[in-house]
Structure 1
């Protein structure tokens, strides 16, 4: 490594957004250096745990059915965010996903049709063949073939800003402090979800009980450094992509296999055996990302999903086996719940469930009456043994506090001025578009779209 070399584009991060930026900048003729905090075996950030990308399309493709147009996509996003989104940037992202798949395929990414358990996404989401790890490997192979230089085990300590201009990056590469210079910089280093002390500033002591689904390297060091130097922030530090995952998952890096998709067909109770939210509010891809926050608000940040044998094959199971019993009381004992209280809750739910035509593929209207909270769909009595239970914990994927950008991915200062040579893509700027809530596959959409924009604009700026 020539430490005196001045690259055209320096990309901070090693996941989907960073690699899209690096490949795009290199294809535009720029010299590019990628700094990945993780060692090579764990490269790729959260992207290696992903499965799909939500893509607008006007006609069926090899892996997407029917059509998914801008207005429907926008309406889906509007509903999950409650309007907390920048419409200009959101619609820009939505439109640009129409061109994302050809770019990805040119980089060696391969797709597959939706599998059993994900068929309700067949119209909206393109699934990666081999998952996120295969996607990341394809991007790295493409970047290396194009001549992108990559440093692993390299943490960026600071991007030294001087009146909105990045003069150099202070780094620690394989344990040694260094300085790297580049004409332009793309920050794609993720959120701060792996920084429990920072999470506790917004969530209090409850954050100690959070599980981090993705990379343990997302400490938010670059984000904190930029905010401390006067870069404009966007988003709420307490908002994040938080899903209910299996409570037996590891503290870090459990990935998507620890996610639990049984909630719509279950009742979910807290440690006191009490239900606390409508499990059947909407189809799972539009509601799964609210359940991490819901569980986080319960005592000890724990909950339990209870199903009967009829629902066992209706969802993709966790990597951990269900806890089972032939009686509700026996299941309660195995879960550490009060058997009398759980049996009472189940009896009350069963009595309130209105008989109807159960259909797991759509909003079926099978609901409860006279029960608080109500269950508005898939309210089928839990009555056929054996009964199964799963412990739930909040699983944090990424945080929404980030840096503010314009439509060209240029980072803005607190006074509204654009920085001179700093761009951003991915989770570090996603709060501009995701104020709260989540839409399945949309994080990858943001990273891909703004990674390509940032790479294009950084290369253009470097040439000029």
Structure 2
């Protein structure tokens, strides 16, 4: 019998497996995907949000605990467990040396990644390189990995883990870490959570999945049905407005459209519906998927003019281009009269100011709703561009309630040998909203905690045998 069983194959699972092995436990990982698709959503990540009180190698200036906490508090609207959130924040300041010891390398913030040089440490080679480094290190340490082994149920005895089942295969262990992701690629569950809207549409039918097709939430649903305490709203997710031409699965970071704050966004009725300049893009980009999901047909268009070009990370696919706004409306299939009315009102509402897309500038609108509170420049310089947007789900927030030891709870009582990390518990910290890199902060912190807790539980049990 193995000491620690880790279910999942992404960042949190790998951190748990490495920590458990370093603590002296024998470890087996069960990854549902084939080897070439291993890693869950982690191959698509780019960076880790890090607290630091002074400049540190790739991080400039300082990003103290209280500022990190206030950023998280703002995007979650207070829907977060402060104790666990601060645990994640503090852990983010001390994990990088450990990550380096397992082959992860860092690089300075990319020039097109606005406002993140101070807050986020970027991975050299991206998430794919991070995942590969962790797997190399795990295998060198003797962690066993089984691919194409989706776990469909857990054998429990009064809140204690006994064994995991993958079809007819049974895997017993002294302790277990659950890190198998959310349910973002389970269309039926998304439909059930979102239901129909007032227009009779099923919004979830138009969602694209930015990450892994293997994150179907089978184990999450099984645990909740088995009496594990759940936390979070099933409709809440890290949901980004992405290029409507993106693939259904695994489009990743390159499908994001980053020009929203430099122009305006209109829906299928050619009307604006939210403040495009509310805050810096890394803090607010993740609200736009949900906003688009609430629009007719779950589609919208980001409209910019030539003044914005070169000020944001260029999309993979070129936008629709036109020499006039009227021509752009025609090419996008939007009602020209309504579109021109919307743009004329916005342009007239822009007040003079000092434009600077690197700060919260004083370029705002006046007398138009919704207002645009920063970076409001009239769209008057051809050529004009339009990018079709759809909601792109990264990961869901419904998860298992946990504590500072990463234990799974049953009726408020923590299990002494079943632990959880990553997307399966992120809802404890993220009740809603998102800020760039915090998912990796949560997965890394709780993966390491869960691995340590599981090893301690397994080795304690071994002493009593």
Select the residue among 429, 440, 446 that pairs with 2:442: 446
Task: Give, in whole Å, the separation in 2 of the partners of 1:192 and 1:219.
Answer: 4
Select the residue among 179, 187, 192 that pairs with 1:196: 187
Partner of 1:15: 10
Q: Which runs of 5+ in 1 are unaligned?
A: 1-5
Partner of 2:251: 254
Task: Give, in whole Å, the separation in 1 of the partners of 2:241 and 2:150.
Answer: 30
**Alpha-carbon deviation of 1:328?**
1.0
Partner of 1:424: 420
Task: Give, in whole Å, the separation in 2 of the partners of 1:63 and 1:199.
Answer: 38
Q: 1:385-396 counterparts in 2 under 5 A?
A: 385-396=382-393
In the alignment, does 2:207 pair up with 1:210? yes
Partner of 2:172: 181
Select the residue among 370, 392, 395 that pairs with 2:367: 370
Task: Give, in whole Å, the separation in 2 of the partners of 1:392 and 1:362.
Answer: 25
Poorly superposed stretches of 4+, deviation over 2 Å: none
Select the residue among 337, 340, 345 that pairs with 1:343: 340
Partner of 1:3: none
Partner of 1:355: 352
Task: Give, in whole Å, the separation in 1 of the partners of 2:412 and 2:16.
Answer: 24
Q: What is the DSSP-based 3-state SS (H/G/I as helix, E as strand, rest coil) of the residue aligned with 2:239?
A: strand
- 8 Å contact kept, 2:114–2:312: no
In the alignment, does 2:297 pair up with 1:306? no
Query: Per-residue displacement from partner, 1:106-163 (whole Å, max 9, x unpaired)?
Result: 1100000011111411111000000000000000000000000000111001011121
Q: What is the DSSP-based 3-state SS (H/G/I as helix, E as strand, rest coil) of the residue aligned with 2:60?
A: coil
Task: Give, in whole Å, the separation in 1 of the partners of 2:36 and 2:328.
Answer: 40
Task: Give, in whole Å, the separation in 2 of the partners of 1:263 and 1:202.
Answer: 28
Select the residue among 104, 129, 139 that pairs with 1:109: 104
Taking structure 1 as the reference length, the TM-score comes to 0.97
Task: Give, in whole Å, the separation in 2 of the partners of 1:290 and 1:49.
Answer: 19
Q: What is the DSSP-based 3-state SS (H/G/I as helix, E as strand, rest coil) of the residue aligned with 1:154?
A: coil
Task: Give, in whole Å, the separation in 2 of the partners of 1:456 and 1:103.
Answer: 14
Partner of 1:264: 261
Q: 1:78-89 counterparts in 2 under 5 A?
A: 78-89=73-84
- 8 Å contact kept, 2:114–2:281: no
- 8 Å contact kept, 2:114–2:282: no
Q: 1:19-98 counterparts in 2 under 5 A?
A: 19-98=14-93
Query: Per-residue displacement from partner, 1:231-274 (whole Å, max 9, x unpaired)?
Result: 00001111110110011101111000000110000100000100
**Alpha-carbon deviation of 1:345?**
1.2
Q: Which runs of 5+ in 2 are unaligned?
A: 196-201, 461-465
Paired residues in the alignment total: 454
Task: Give, in whole Å, the separation in 2 of the partners of 1:266 and 1:423.
Answer: 45
Query: Per-residue displacement from partner, 1:379-438 (whole Å, max 9, x unpaired)?
Result: 10000000000000000000000001110001101x211113100000000000100000
Task: Give, in whole Å, the separation in 2 of the partners of 1:159 and 1:440.
Answer: 33
Task: Give, in whole Å, the separation in 1 of the partners of 2:7 and 2:314.
Answer: 35
Task: Give, in whole Å, the separation in 2 of the partners of 1:420 and 1:127.
Answer: 35
Task: Give, in whole Å, the separation in 2 of the partners of 1:355 and 1:217.
Answer: 50
In the alignment, does 2:117 pair up with 1:122? yes
Task: Give, in whole Å, the separation in 1 of the partners of 2:405 and 2:163.
Answer: 22
Query: Per-residue displacement from partner, 1:35-67 (whole Å, max 9, x unpaired)?
Result: 001101111110100000001112111100011
Q: 1:126-141 counterparts in 2 under 5 A?
A: 126-141=121-136
Task: Give, in whole Å, the separation in 1 of the partners of 2:250 and 2:57.
Answer: 32
**Alpha-carbon deviation of 1:340?**
2.1
In the alignment, does 2:293 pair up with 1:296? yes
Partner of 2:152: 157
Partner of 1:228: 225
Task: Give, in whole Å, the separation in 1 of the partners of 2:14 and 2:437.
Answer: 17
Query: Per-residue displacement from partner, 1:19-38 (whole Å, max 9, x unpaired)?
Result: 00000100111000000011
In the alignment, does 2:279 pair up with 1:279? no
Q: What is the DSSP-based 3-state SS (H/G/I as helix, E as strand, rest coil) of the residue aligned with 1:93?
A: helix
In the alignment, does 2:91 pair up with 1:100? no
Q: What is the DSSP-based 3-state SS (H/G/I as helix, E as strand, rest coil) of the residue aligned with 1:294?
A: helix
Q: What is the DSSP-based 3-state SS (H/G/I as helix, E as strand, rest coil) of the residue aligned with 2:395?
A: strand
Instruction: State the Cα RMSD in Å.
Output: 0.7
Task: Give, in whole Å, the separation in 1 of the partners of 2:118 and 2:232.
Answer: 30
In the alignment, does 2:320 pair up with 1:323? yes
Taking structure 2 as the reference length, the TM-score comes to 0.97
